[in-house]
């Protein structure tokens, strides 16, 4: 029975709009999601990077932004997927996981707010003893408690929920919750309801009392203070936290009240439920970024420093670029082997072109291969064809004719396209992993989910994200002054190599580029890892040995391609960091890691994939 329950698919009867309004809702939700993630990451980054903000108040604030990340990432991606594919289905296990994170977010939010109220109470009512009370040890204990208490409560709550099996499969909401899951059961849930009401009432009462008591004491202290400046400063310090608390409570109450109103439409109730998830997570970084002086000052200082670094202008208003072209040094220690290098690179490029064009043509002309899996594979081959084409032609001119000069803007165009294609490959491999997850873990619903419309939208999103990811980094780099050396110790315009030539402080721009690169690599990697964990679990649960072999062979090619890409990328990054390796070897390993995937992907998919092998033989 437990196995049947875990494999059970639930239907989320969420928002019901016309296609036009659904598409508009998807776009608006996506914009809010991206903005919320970016804003929370920006404020959290400021809190982490600035040592002056490593105080108890701001250390407790870290927990809030981490909690906001948990909330927004556990709920909104599924809502976006449902709006895009209109399938509105989720497995029972995934529903439990989503509900667990949402309830944990709700509980942790109030405990974090209570801890922050206590911190403000000590700071204002006992300022002389604040440092001795709010030590690092106390702050760490508070941080542990604000997570441990709600998580233990929610774990017990869902332990009780899992003991009652569901007998229905329709959830009348856009996300999973404990009450929604309990509504599926046909057995007595009195114990669940009592426990749920008790922990909600107890936690809410304790937190509400703590906040009211803290701010009552703060208000009394402020009113008894004769210094107007100290009074206004204390009130201003607490107003931000109090505003966040009020917004959270109002958004939570509005969702609860809308459920109780019978005359309210289902869509309105669902939207009010979304506001509980979106508004606090969206408002928190805005409020703390604008209202908290220390954070606002730090953000403004960072922005000003960035502008000064970027906008070093001469009197005529032009960017101060005395460098009009760059010189690609290439392999400085292999100047007498240029012809051999040319032949090696040429052979590699011809192999890449021939292999990927073959895959593209086979998929294009074989009707049996006109499926989502091969549509994504065709896109990967197009990407693999473009990837080396960006850097190899200039390398040919460098090795064969000694043409090592590239124009200033030509260098940046090459760099931008190369980085964009690299990011696009990360996103595409992630989408291909999700495709295999849906095909293997949800085979009956796979055709209705991965329609041609969804596939086309996914490819458009992959390419847009890929080309948007490095855009800010390239624009910021172009704005720097280049007034010294113009020699690039590389075979093509590599971002770190060009950055070292700038005549200004590049710390902020390097950090921004590093964060963008890590997001572009790690986020898709996590999606791919989760997809294949689910795939492996499904394969291991299969009782048929033949079915296991067939299923594994279907996704083995892509899995090997993903491993090859991330291992080669990791090797490339590690080599850059090592100081005891000569520059020639560093360049060589970096180039090999860049072209390994485009060269081996056609072999991997043609040798390991029976459908493509049969089509090639035909």
Convert the pLDDT of each residue in 374-387 to its tens digit.
888 889 998 988 88
Least confident of 214-223, 245-254, 303-312: 303-312
Using 50, 70 and 90 to split pLDDT, how confident is the model at 308?
low
At 457 the pLDDT is 85
Paired with 90 in beta bridges are 10
At 237 the pLDDT is 64
Mean of pLDDT values over 93-117: 89
Would the pLDDT of 333 be above 70? no
Would the pLDDT of 408 be above 60? yes
At 424 the pLDDT is 92
Convert the pLDDT of each residue in 96-107 to its tens digit.
888 999 999 989
At 318 the pLDDT is 47
Would the pLDDT of 113 be above 80? yes
Q: Which domain holds residue 595?
A: 325-617
What residues contact 570, with CB distance under 8 A and at least 6 apart?
Answer: none
Residue 371 domain-assigned (yes or no): yes
| Cα–Cα separations (whole angstroms), residue 265 to 16, 173, 269, 270 | 11, 12, 6, 9
Mean of pLDDT values over 278-303: 78
Long-range Cβ contact pairs of 293-302 (< 8 A, separation 24 or more)? 293/236, 294/52, 294/53, 294/58, 295/43, 295/46, 295/47, 295/53, 295/58, 298/46, 298/50, 298/52, 298/53, 299/42, 299/43, 299/46, 302/46, 302/508
Report d(CA 553, CA 292) in Å as an integer: 55
Number of domains forming the structure of the chain: 2
Confidence (pTM) = 0.61
CA nearest neighbour of 605 among 618, 616, 593, 594 = 616
Same-domain status, 267 and 347: no
Same-domain status, 485 and 393: yes
Residue whose pair of structure tokens reads 């000694």 in the numeric block: 402
At 317 the pLDDT is 42
Least confident of 8-22, 222-236, 324-338, 411-425: 222-236
| Cα–Cα separations (whole angstroms), residue 43 to 47, 53, 159 | 6, 11, 35
Report DSSP state, residue 185: B
Report d(CA 253, CA 272) in Å as an integer: 10
Cα Rg of the chain, angstroms: 28
Same-domain status, 414 and 553: yes
User: What's phi and psi for 435, nearest 5 deg?
Assistant: -60, -45
Which of 274, 306, 338 represents a domain boundary (last residue)? 306
At 288 the pLDDT is 81
Residue 57 domain-assigned (yes or no): yes
Q: Which residue has the higher pLDDT, 257 or 124?
A: 124
DSSP-assigned states of every residue in 424-473? HHHHHHHHHHHHHHHHHHSTTTHHHHS-HHHHHHHHHHHHHHHHHTTHHH
Q: Which residue has the higher pLDDT, 421 or 585?
A: 421
Q: For residue 60, how far is the Cα from the chain centroid?
A: 23
DSSP-assigned states of every residue in 524-587? HHHHHHHHHHHHHHHHHH---HHHHHHHHHHHHHHHHHHHHHHHHHHHHHHHHH-SSS-HHHHH
Convert the pLDDT of each residue in 565-576 to its tens digit.
888 877 777 776
Report d(CA 548, CA 531) in Å as an integer: 17
Using 50, 70 and 90 to split pLDDT, how confident is the model at 236?
low
Report d(CA 95, CA 6) in Å as an integer: 10
At 518 the pLDDT is 81
Residue 320 domain-assigned (yes or no): no
Same-domain status, 175 and 225: yes
Residue 399 domain-assigned (yes or no): yes
Tell me the two tokens of residue 7.
């494999």
Which of 306, 340, 362 represents a domain boundary (last residue)? 306
User: What's phi and psi for 289, nearest 5 deg?
Assistant: -70, -30
Provide the 3-class DSSP secondary structure of residue 221.
helix
What residues contact 5, with CB distance under 8 A and at least 6 apart?
Answer: 92, 165, 166
As a whole-number percent, the residues of the chain with pLDDT over 70 amount to 87
Q: How many of the other CB atoms lie within 10 Å of CB of 131? A: 12
Mean of pLDDT values over 79-99: 80
Which of 255, 277, 306 represents a domain boundary (last residue)? 306
As a whole-number percent, the residues of the chain with pLDDT over 90 amount to 5
User: What's phi and psi for 11, nearest 5 deg?
Assistant: -110, 125
Least confident of 39-48, 174-183, 326-335: 326-335
Report d(CA 255, CA 246) in Å as an integer: 14
- Report angle CA 395, 403, 513 to the nearest 5 degrees: 50
Same-domain status, 269 and 333: no
Same-domain status, 394 and 290: no
Using 50, 70 and 90 to split pLDDT, how confident is the model at 554?
low
Residue 315 domain-assigned (yes or no): no
Tell me the two tokens of residue 318.
């032009």
Same-domain status, 525 and 592: yes
Using 50, 70 and 90 to split pLDDT, how confident is the model at 8?
confident
Length reported for the chain: 618
Would the pLDDT of 316 be above 50? no
Using 50, 70 and 90 to split pLDDT, how confident is the model at 561?
confident
Residue 316 domain-assigned (yes or no): no
Same-domain status, 430 and 554: yes
Q: Would you say 53 and 295 are in contact if contact means Cβ atoms under 8 Å apart?
A: yes
Convert the pLDDT of each residue in 481-513 to its tens digit.
887 788 888 888 888 888 888 887 777 788 778
At 608 the pLDDT is 65
Same-domain status, 491 and 348: yes
Using 50, 70 and 90 to split pLDDT, how confident is the model at 321?
low
Same-domain status, 301 and 348: no
Would the pLDDT of 320 be above 60? no
Using 50, 70 and 90 to split pLDDT, how confident is the model at 315?
very low
Same-domain status, 299 and 409: no
Report DSSP state, residue 327: E
Q: Would you say 551 and 440 are in contact if contact means Cβ atoms under 8 Å apart?
A: yes
CATH number at residue 169: 1.20.1070.10
Same-domain status, 83 and 17: yes
Q: Would you say 98 and 176 are in contact if contact means Cβ atoms under 8 Å apart?
A: yes
Mean of pLDDT values over 61-89: 82
Residue 141 domain-assigned (yes or no): yes
Mean of pLDDT values over 252-258: 70
Q: What is the mean pLDDT of the chain?
A: 81
Would the pLDDT of 25 be above 60? yes
Residue 368 domain-assigned (yes or no): yes
């Amino acid at each position: 029975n437990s196995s049947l329950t875990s494999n059970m698919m639930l239907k989320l009867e969420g928002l019901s709009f016309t296609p036009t309004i659904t598409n508009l809702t998807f776009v608006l939700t996506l914009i809010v999601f991206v903005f919320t993630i970016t804003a929370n990451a920006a404020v959290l980054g400021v809190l982490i990077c600035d040592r002056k903000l490593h105080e108890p108040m701001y250390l407790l604030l870290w927990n809030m932004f981490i909690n906001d990340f948990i909330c927004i990432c556990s709920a909104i991606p599924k809502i976006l997927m449902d709006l895009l594919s209109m399938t509105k289905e989720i497995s029972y296990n995934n529903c439990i996981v989503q509900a667990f994170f949402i309830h944990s977010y709700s509980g942790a939010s109030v405990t974090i707010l209570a801890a922050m109220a206590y911190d403000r109470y000590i700071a204002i009512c006992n300022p002389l003893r604040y440092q001795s009370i709010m030590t690092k040890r106390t702050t760490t204990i508070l941080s542990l408690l604000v997570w441990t208490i709600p998580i233990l409560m929610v774990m017990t709550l869902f332990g009780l929920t899992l003991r009652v099996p569901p007998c229905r499969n329709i959830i009348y909401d856009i996300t999973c919750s404990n009450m929604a899951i309990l509504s599926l059961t046909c057995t007595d849930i009195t114990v669940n309801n009592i426990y749920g009401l008790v922990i909600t009432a107890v936690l809410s009462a304790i937190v509400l009392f703590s906040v009211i008591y803290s701010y009552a004491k703060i208000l009394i202290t402020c009113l008894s203070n004769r210094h107007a400046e100290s009074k206004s400063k204390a009130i201003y310090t607490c107003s931000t936290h109090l505003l966040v608390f009020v917004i959270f409570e109002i958004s939570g109450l509005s969702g609860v009240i809308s459920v109780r109103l019978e005359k309210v439409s289902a869509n309105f109730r669902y939207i009010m439920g979304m506001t509980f998830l979106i508004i606090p997570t969206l408002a928190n970084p805005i409020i703390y970024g604008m209202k908290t002086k220390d954070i606002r000052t730090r953000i403004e200082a960072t922005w000003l420093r960035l502008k000064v670094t970027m906008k070093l202008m001469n009197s005529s208003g032009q960017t101060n670029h005395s460098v009009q072209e760059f010189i690609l040094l290439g392999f400085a220690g292999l100047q007498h082997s240029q012809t051999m290098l040319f032949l090696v690179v040429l052979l590699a490029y011809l192999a890449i072109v021939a292999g990927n064009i073959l895959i593209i043509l086979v998929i294009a002309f074989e009707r049996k291969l006109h499926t989502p899996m091969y549509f994504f594979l065709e896109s990967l081959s197009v990407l693999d064809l473009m990837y080396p084409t960006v850097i190899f032609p200039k390398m040919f001119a460098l090795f064969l004719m000694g043409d090592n000069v590239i124009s200033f803007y030509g260098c940046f165009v090459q760099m931008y396209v190369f980085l964009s294609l690299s990011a696009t490959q990360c996103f595409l491999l992630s989408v291909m992993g999700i495709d295999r997850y849906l095909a293997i873990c949800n085979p009956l619903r796979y055709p209705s989910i991965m329609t041609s419309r969804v596939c086309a939208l996914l490819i458009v999103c992959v390419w847009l994200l890929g080309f948007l990811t490095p855009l800010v980094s390239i624009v910021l780099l172009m704005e720097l002054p280049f007034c010294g050396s113009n020699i690039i110790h590389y075979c093509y315009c590599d971002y770190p190599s060009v950055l070292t030539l700038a005549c200004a402080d590049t710390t902020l721009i390097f950090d921004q580029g590093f964060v963008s690169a890590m997001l572009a690599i790690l986020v898709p990697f996590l999606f791919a890892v989760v997809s294949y964990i689910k795939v492996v679990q499904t394969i291991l649960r299969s009782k048929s040995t033949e079915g296991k072999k067939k299923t594994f062979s279907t996704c083995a090619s892509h899995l090997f391609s993903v491993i090859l890409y991330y291992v080669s990328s990791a090797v490339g990054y590690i080599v850059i960091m090592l100081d005891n390796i000569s520059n020639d070897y560093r360049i060589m390993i970096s180039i090999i890691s860049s072209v390994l995937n485009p060269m081996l992907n056609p072999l991997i998919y043609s040798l390991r994939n029976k459908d493509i092998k049969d089509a090639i033989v035909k």
